[in-house]
Amino acid sequence: MTTAEWLDIGWVDQIPVRGSRTVQVEGGDDIAVFRTAEGKVFALLDRCPHKHGRLSQGIVHGGAVACPLHNWRISLATGEALGEDKGCTPTVPVKIDGGRVLICRASTLKAAA
Amino acid sequence: MEHRPLKAETDMREHLVVIGNGMAGCRAVEELLARDPTRYRVTIFGAEPRVNYNRIMLSPVLAGEKCFEDIVINDAGWYADNGIALIAGDPVVAIDRETKTVTTRGGVSESYDKLLIATGSDPFIIPVPGKDLPGVIAFRDMDDVDTMLAAADAGGDAVVIGGGLLGLEAAHGLTLRGMKVTVIHLMPTLMERQLDEAAGWLLKNALEARGQTILTGADTAEIIGEGKVEGVKLKDGTLIPASLVVMAVGIRPSVALARDAGLAVGRGIQVDDHMVTSDPAVLAVGECVEHDGQVYGLVAPLWDMCRSLADGLVEKPTGYRGSVTSTKLKVSGIDVFSAGDFSGGDGCEDIVLRDASRGVYKRVIVKDDRIVGAVLYGDTADGGWYFDLLKKQEDVSELRDLLIFGHAFAAGGGAADPKTAVAALSDDAEICGCNGVTKGQVVSCIAKGAHSLDAVRGTCKASASCGSCTGLVENLLALTLGDDVQSGPKTMCKCTSFGHDDVRREIVAQGMRSIPEVMQKLHWTTPDGCSSCRPALNYYLLCALPGEYVDDQQSRFVNERLHANIQKDGTYSVVPRMWGGLTNPTELRAIADVVEKYNAPMVKVTGGQRLDIFGIKKEDLPAVWADLNAAGMVSGHAYGKALRTVKTCVGSEWCRFGTQDSTGLGVKLERMSWGSWMPHKFKIAVSGCPRNCAEATIKDFGVVCVDSGYELHVGGNGGIHVRATDLLCKVANEQEAMDYCAAFIQLYREEARYLERTAPWIERVGVDYVKARIIDDEAGREALRARFLYSQSFSQDDPWAQRAEGAEAEHHAPMARFIPQGEFA
Ligand SMILES: Cc1cc2nc3c(=O)[nH]c(=O)nc-3n(C[C@H](O)[C@H](O)[C@H](O)COP(=O)(O)OP(=O)(O)OC[C@H]3O[C@@H](n4cnc5c(N)ncnc54)[C@H](O)[C@@H]3O)c2cc1C
Ligand code: HEM
Ligand code: SF4
Ligand code: FES
């Protein structure tokens, strides 16, 4: 199920609440797909702006994820590091359609490259 | 039912035909009549055999608070008075746009000049076996209510599938009608589209208190029964008996007619700002439409739509611009309100107020000085006010500090500064509701030398219970002392004003059972905590409720979630358990095979006498564990805040200096204590003589064997701050060494703060305290030991074996793979 602009990656329910799953991009970094306590879904490059920790492995709270390596907090909506830390992870637009998660193809390629 | 007040042949006006005698269809006609009562001749087709009624009031009808007559919006007289022909009980089955006619199932045809489609929504029926059995119904119209009332008369069990607004209202009604109701909800939180976790938890509690059974995270497998419904079976095998099953899992815009007629249809019938479809002669309104990519499932947007539609019909177009919606649950005695966006996110600030004694949770989400969302539970009086500020996009920076207290407070004139507000209180004003402490008492307690929050809590008890008045007490301290306030106790994290010890004491004292419960009762200031407090609370609950508390995986650090250590390149290292540091050819061979099979780039002997396999990919973990399990090895918990290793020397078995069987004791200690979760990692060592080759005196618990018995040492640490152990005592035999070890571990588990190793813990409480608890208090020691062993009876499941067998398998695999330019699998 691939449309020109959006990649259908699966059901929303496949992502644990306050957790995440990844999408492998051949030849590039993974994309991490998060689902918050309120059920919002976000996609970011699975790479912390600090020292490339796997954000998909962090603890999700509110609208942020805490990186598993050194606990930087990264905004899921913008990819920006929160608080005192400075840095940004590329984000990938997401839309939900009939329970399916779609991520933007162009941004996925750009982020993962 | 048919009214034909005017002869169609002689009436030369434009003919407006409406399909759908529901809320939007009739409202649209009302709006039109209000603008120009004579311009159109109107005919309404309705599938339901009755006049127009208020669908949202079906819930009170079901609950017995209203009857059908009470909820009729337009009775037969209205149709007659306004010259409207109503053809009810006969659905339209076709639209012919060429000839501009509609045809009903009964064969009635009408031609139109303008057609308005207002067909609403169809309930979504989940495609499980048994969905068509008699007794399985939706909750959409009066017929459904009649079916439910008939079933309720017969009594028995009902299952409602879907814990959203509709499902909960159905469950409430059926409960009041005497049925025993179980709600099955797929998601972990009730009404998750409208409520956050905290409010959802309160709601679940309140409904359970009313006798409903609420199963969250429950997935329906099939509906069973011979000839009629007899029960519902869940995917986990649970069987729930039921003579009535109500499906309330969602609605889909009713678009079949429009699609068959070739109109543009997306999720709904696509309309422009004037509710005109892709055919200029056809309009659509209500739940069946999609406007600007949005579909709605509530009535408020319909009113806005109908206004724009009528403006267009009389050629004074205004244009609909979309709606912001708010929700209230219509279950008497339970007040829930939600509006706007509460998913948090960037630049959003949460203002949270919790009042456990009143069962209140309020959360307002502010972004760029504007309210973007609100969730209220228990006290929804200010819902309208917040919603109004939200819709008007008003700047709330001036109100910021008092916003959460509600309209009355925030609008209270000059007292816009909390400190001024507190200063203005009389001495008799109650500050702490839990302990009944007045402002005068707090001030005098501060004057007598309580110069910190902790000291105030210790002396007059203000803010020592639920903590909701902490802000008031802090303001009183600041007012009374100026700059002399001593900083308070170190709080657990920024989400709470309580320290670790307070939280823990309250968890036990109040018998709390879940993370959302702790957050509510102790007035957490964030909706779902943070990465500091969530793992700590998870541990405290796990420790307090062995065998009962269900671990929250999303509150654990990645290593404990994946049972392996994440390395800086994102791969994992795997350490199998080797009891007491012993191994054998089978194990070594299995390890060697794993290293080769999964291309592990490195194997290292650790400081704890184990083998560490590096560079394993996340998705290979389950297979690696399966291979290691097959050779008899279990998880070494090298990733956990848990017992890590028991290091031993060769002892009396081999060494010429050995006094006791240090290796054997080490193995026994490891078998006893593996798998237990602790505040932090915990290491044990056993040396066979004072030469201490196993370095027992820098371990959390160390045994040094001597001729006459066993010296027990505690609180040692390697690492940055090396600390040699304190000698706890000497015991005579192995059994005593084991018993004391178990008691010591349990004391540490119950009393140390999360992430506090034994060394700083003992420095904090003093070794004499530990001695008093373990040595002097024999009964206490025995109780500690018993509690440890009881808790261990639940924790010695090999997490690897469960996952190698497929538990949580999906969390190790990527959700999808994307191969650019190629296929997407
Ligand atoms: C139990 C319940 C409680 C609710 N509570 C609330 C609430 O508290 N707050 C809130 O905002 N909203 C609530 N709603 C939602 C609200 O009722 C709907 O948003 C609203 O009714 C939608 O109006 P509509 O005219 O688009 O659809 P409807 O009111 O469903 O009207 C559509 C009508 O069209 C008829 N129809 C369909 N196809 C045909 C056809 N081919 N020919 C002829 N007729 C046809 C249908 O029979 C129906 O009568 C509730 C809904 C239910 C069921
Ligand atoms: C003459 C007496 C000693 C003998 C015969 C002896 C023997 C041994 C043996 C057999 C081991 C291997 C234990 C095992 O891992 O199974 C060992 C390890 C060790 N010994 Fe000794 N030892 C002696 C004295 C000492 C002394 C005096 C020290 C310290 C000051 C010491 C420190 C160590 C250490 C640190 C280890 C390594 C433990 C480990 O990490 O595995 N030894 N010794
Ligand atoms: S600690 Fe004592 S018994 Fe153990 S190996 Fe060293 S010398 Fe031998
Ligand atoms: S790599 Fe993410 S915090 Fe260091």
**Which CATH number goes with the domain that contains A60?**
2.102.10.10
Cβ atoms within 10 Å of B568's Cβ, excluding its own:
11
CA B515/CA B512 separation, integer angstroms: 8
User: B233 CA to middle of ligand 4, Å?
Assistant: 45
Residue B446: C-alpha distances to residues B438, B439, B498, B527 (Å):
13, 11, 19, 32
What spacing in Å lies between the alpha carbon of B119 and ligand 1's midpoint? 8
Residues with Cβ within 8 Å of residue A102, at least 6 apart in sequence: A3, A6, A7, A8, A9, A94, A95, A96
pLDDT in tens, chain A (113 residues): 445 688 888 889 889 888 999 998 888 889 999 999 888 899 999 999 988 888 998 999 988 999 988 888 899 999 999 877 788 999 999 999 888 999 998 888 887 77
Q: Classify domain B415-488 by CATH architecture.
A: Orthogonal Bundle (1.10)
Could you tell me what percentage of chain A is helix, strand and coil, using 3-state DSSP and rounding each to the nearest 5? 10, 40, 45
Instruction: Give ipTM to 2 decimals.
Output: 0.78
Other beta carbons within 10 Å of A42: 25
- Structural contact between residues B702 and B647, judged by C-beta atoms closer than 8 angstroms: no
Q: How many CB atoms lie within 10 A of CB B131?
A: 16
Is the CA virtual torsion B404, B406, B409, B415 positive or negative?
positive
Q: Is B91 exposed, middle or buried (0-12, 13-18, 19+ CB in 10 A)?
A: middle
Q: From ligand 1's centre to the CA of B416, what distance in Å?
A: 45
Class of domain B558-640: alpha beta
Ligand positioned closest to the Cα atom of B699? 2
Give the separation between CA B691 and CA B687, rounded to whole angstroms.
8
| Residue B107 near residue B92, CB atoms below 8 Å | no
Q: So what's the pLDDT on residue B578?
A: 93
β-strand partners of B363: B352, B375
pLDDT digits (tens, 9 = 90+) for B665-696: 999 999 999 989 999 999 999 999 999 999 99
* Residue B60 backbone phi and psi in degrees, to 5: -60, -30
Tell me how far apart the alpha carbons of residues B188 and B359 are, in angstroms, rounded to a whole number: 21
Ligand 4 atom closest to A55 (CA)? 2
Q: Kind of pairing, strands B682-687 and A64-66?
A: unpaired
Closest CA to B29 of B72, B83, B69: B83
- Compute the half-sphere exposure of residue B498: CA atoms within 13 Å on the CB side of its CA: 26
Q: Residue B591 has what pLDDT? A: 95
Radius of gyration of chain B (CA): 34
d(CA A67, CA B579): 33
| A24 within a domain of the structure (yes/no) | yes
Classify domain B7-122+253-313 at the CATH topology level.
Answer: FAD/NAD(P)-binding domain (3.50.50)
Domains in chain A: how many in total? 1
CATH 3.30.413.10 fits B644-797, yes or no: yes
Q: A30 CB near a chain B CB, below 8 Å?
A: yes
Contacts 24+ apart (CB under 8 A), A47-53: A47/A89, A48/A72, A48/A74, A48/A87, A48/A89, A49/A74, A49/A79, A49/A81, A49/A87, A49/A88, A49/A89, A50/A81, A50/A85, A50/A87, A51/B568, A52/B568, A52/B569, A52/B570, A53/B568, A53/B570
**C-alpha B361: how far from chain center:** 14
In the chain, the amino acid numbered B35 is R
Residue B613 per-residue DSSP state: E
What's at B538, amino acid-wise? N
Are B695 and B647 within 8 A, CB to CB? yes
DSSP strand E in B481-571: where?
565-566
Nearest CA distance, B71 vs chain A (angstrom): 33
| Nearest alpha-carbon partner for B120 in B34, B45, B62, B60 | B45
Per the structure block, which two tokens stand in for B459?
A: 């002396």
* Residue B286 amino acid letter: G
Q: Which of B579, B657, B663, B691 to mutate to test the pocket of ligand 2 (most atoms within 8 A of CB)?
A: B691
Q: Which two tokens mark B125?
A: 């029926």
**DSSP per position, B639-651:** TSSBEEEEEE--G
Whole-number Å distance between alpha carbons of B325 and B315: 28
**Cα separation of B628 and B167, whole Å?**
47
User: Which residues line the pocket of ligand 1, CB cutoff 6 A?
Assistant: B 19-25, 45-48, 55-56, 58-59, 91-92, 118-120, 139-140, 166, 169, 254, 257, 286-288, 297-300, 302, 330
Which of B687, B703, B705, B710 has most ligand 3 atoms within 8 Å of CB, for mutation? B687
CB contact under 8 A, A38 and B531: no
* pLDDT value, residue B570: 78
Please name the member of A8, A19, A78 whose beta carbon is closest to the beta carbon of B554.
A19
**Cβ(B653) – ligand 3 distance below 6 Å:** no
What's the N-to-C CA distance of chain B in angstroms? Answer: 56
The tokens for B142 are 């009066």
- Sequence-distant (≥ 6) Cβ neighbours of residue B130 within 8 angstroms: B136, B222, B223, B224, B225, B229
Q: What is the CATH number of domain B136-249?
A: 3.50.50.60
B59 Rama sector, left if φ>0, alpha if ψ -120 to 50, beta otherwise:
alpha
Q: Which ligand is nearest to the CA of B269?
A: 1
**Cβ proximity of B310 and B35 under 8 Å:** yes
CA–CA gap between residue B633 and residue B564 (Å, rounded):
14
Range of A100's domain? 6-112
CB contact under 8 A, A59 and B531: yes
Note the pLDDT of residue B412.
Answer: 55
Residue B346 and residue A69: Cβ atoms within 8 Å? no
Q: Where are the beta strands (DSSP E) in B631-708?
A: 643-648, 682-687, 701-706
| CA B481 – CA B666 distance, rounded (Å) | 57
Find out whether A70 and A85 touch, Cβ atoms under 8 Å.
Answer: no
Give contacts of B344 with chain A, Cβ < 8 Å: 36, 38, 62-64
Is there a shared CATH topology between the B7-122+253-313 domain and the B558-640 domain? no
The answer to whether the Cβ–Cβ distance between A62 and B528 falls below 8 Å is: yes
Q: So where are chain B's domains?
A: 7-122+253-313, 136-249, 335-414, 415-488, 491-548, 558-640, 644-797
Please tell me which of the candidates A37, A54, A75 has its beta carbon nearest to residue B197. Answer: A37
H-run or E-run covering B19: strand B14-19
CB B212 within 8 A of CB B183: yes
* Residue A16 placed within a domain: yes
Could you tell me if residue B816 is left (phi over 0), alpha (psi between -120 and 50 degrees) or otherwise beta?
A: beta
Mutate to test the interface with B, among A35, A61, A89 (most CBs of B within 10 A): A61
Chain-centre distance of CA B230, in angstroms?
Answer: 31
Select from B661, B692, B697, B706 the residue to mutate for testing ligand 3; criterion: most ligand atoms less than 8 Å from CB: B692
Amino acid found at B250 = G
Q: Which tokens is B239 given?
A: 């069987």
The CATH architecture to which B335-414 belongs is: 2-Layer Sandwich (3.30)
Q: Which residue of B has its CA nearest to A81?
A: B346
Token pair listed for B780: 């206490």
Q: Which stretches of chain B score pLDDT less than 50?
A: 1-6, 413-416, 822-825
Q: At what angle do helices B165-176 and B197-209 cross, to 10 degrees?
A: 10
